[in-house]
Amino acid sequence: MNARITKATLLDESNEHHGKQVDLRIENGIITEIGTDLTPKNNEEELQFENLSVSPGWFDSSVSVGEPGFEERETIINALKVAGKSGFTAIAVNANSAPVIDNNASVAFLKNKAAGNAVNLHPIGALTKNAAGVDLAELYDMQQAGAVAFGDYQHAISNPNLIKIALQYAQGFDGLVLSFPQEDDLIIKGVANEGETAISLGLKGIPSLAEHIQVARDLYILEYTGGKLHIPTISTAQSVALIKEAKAKGLDVTCSVAIVNLFYTEAMLNEFDTRYKVLPPLRTETDRQALIAGIKDGTIDMVTSDHNPLDIELKKLEFDHAKFGTIAQEATWGALLTLVSEKRAVKLLTAAQERFTQVKSKIEIGQPANLSLFTTKGTTVFVKEHILSKSKNTAFLGAKLKGKVYGIISNNQFIAS
């Protein structure tokens, strides 16, 4: 594509024009000029939007795609379309399909299916075979096929020796190990945060202790083994404190938080609406404020949509029986912008790129254009018409959001929202 982006505030700390309004010229998908009032060329499209900002492309570190096996929930092609229209140029796809992504052939399937699209798909291979938590999967083979990390989505590894061996083994090829922060023996059949709200509603509780114990355990193991650990979707104040302490020790650990846990609390459960049944569960306002403090001070490295499309038969049930999960990509930018500044939001949405792929996305002359286009201005109420996913299980219906995504430029393509 040939295009000239005009009057855009550039947000990239590595660029000399950071925070300034510039024009960008893109020729055959490559950034060729950055400056003010660039002279138009005949063969280029002008991209101009109101109060436009441009940043390196956003990377969503936790996305569930139904295919293969659950195409009724979401297909790979539509998932990539949703991501692009939500401002993301890359997504890391969880290993929760059927069959589970636990070998090089299944990783290659995802990569091949997504080839040629504007949005880059990066598979997360299962850490254990069939995500059963018993035996390690073929980690090295999956990495060679294109897997960027290894974790069992929303399945805790109960055996500490498995995490120990995984961290030791993955060091041989600089692999990133994910460990879901939950001790299953402490939650039994819990469906909501353990506390006054769950008690008053008669719901079985998921104690925050179940998260703290698992996080503390994994950090102790990491300190012993070395290696690279990522803890996805933390939800409690104590988890923030534990990870902050681990980073102060110099441990190679990162963590993420799901946008729904930043935006809502357990108070949303009073109507037994299963759209708010997520894992980890919505916690207290004290936890939410600690998470917000964590994304502001850098303890929490990245924000994810934790996008999990589920068909109506899995959500339109009694609260105890409904499946955990919400779709959130379409609302992530607008929700995050209500909590932090534009620059901090960009940092939180781009940090996963380097952690998961070892390549830092930059806006730089001579480099392929990998850009997210957006504005911080204006507010909207999220309604059904904003849902782009095949499934409709979103917790954000009725939420007041800030700003707007205009689209992305990636892989020599422009996708407009």
Residue 44 shares a structural domain with residue 123: no
Answer yes or no: is 394 within a domain: no
For residue 7, what are the CA distances in angstroms to 10, 12, 35, 347?
A: 9, 15, 10, 21
Tens of pLDDT along 339-398?
Answer: 999 999 999 999 999 999 999 989 999 999 999 999 999 999 999 999 999 999 999 999
Read off the CATH number of the domain in which 146 is found.
3.20.20.140
Residue 128 shares a structural domain with residue 199: yes
Answer yes or no: is 335 within a domain: yes
Task: State the pLDDT at residue 361.
Answer: 86
Nearby residues of 366 by Cβ (< 8 Å), 6 or more positions away: 30, 31, 32
Answer yes or no: is 384 within a domain: no
Residue 290 shares a structural domain with residue 217: yes
Which residue is catalytic, options 185, 306, 311, 320?
A: 306
Answer yes or no: is 279 within a domain: yes
**In the chain, % of residues over pLDDT 90:** 99
Answer yes or no: is 382 within a domain: no
Q: Which bin fits 306, alpha (ψ -120 to 50), beta or left (φ > 0)?
A: left
The whole-model pTM stands at 0.97
Angle at 125 between CA 103 and CA 190, to 5 degrees: 120
Beta bridge partners of 23: 35
Segments forming the whole domain that contains residue 97: 57-357
Residue 211 shares a structural domain with residue 270: yes
Answer yes or no: is 363 within a domain: no
Residue 220 shares a structural domain with residue 128: yes
Task: State the pLDDT at residue 264.
Answer: 98
Answer yes or no: is 391 within a domain: no
Residue 270 shares a structural domain with residue 203: yes
Residue 47 shares a structural domain with residue 80: no
Task: State the pLDDT at residue 231.
Answer: 98
Residue 47 shares a structural domain with residue 195: no
Residue 133 shares a structural domain with residue 171: yes
Residue 30 shares a structural domain with residue 162: no
Decide if 125 contacts 417 (C-beta within 8 A).
no
Task: State the pLDDT at residue 413.
Answer: 98
Question: Which of the residues in the chain have pLDDT under 50?
Answer: none
Read off the CATH number of the domain in which 31 is found.
2.30.40.10
Residue 244 shares a structural domain with residue 373: no
Burial (CB count within 10 angstroms: exposed 0-12, middle 13-18, buried 19+), residue 311: middle
Answer yes or no: is 385 within a domain: no
Number of domains in the chain: 2
**Euclidean distance between CA atoms 368 and 152, whole angstroms:** 33
Residue ranges of E strands in 236-319: 253-258, 302-304
Whether 320 is catalytic is no
Residue 48 shares a structural domain with residue 65: no
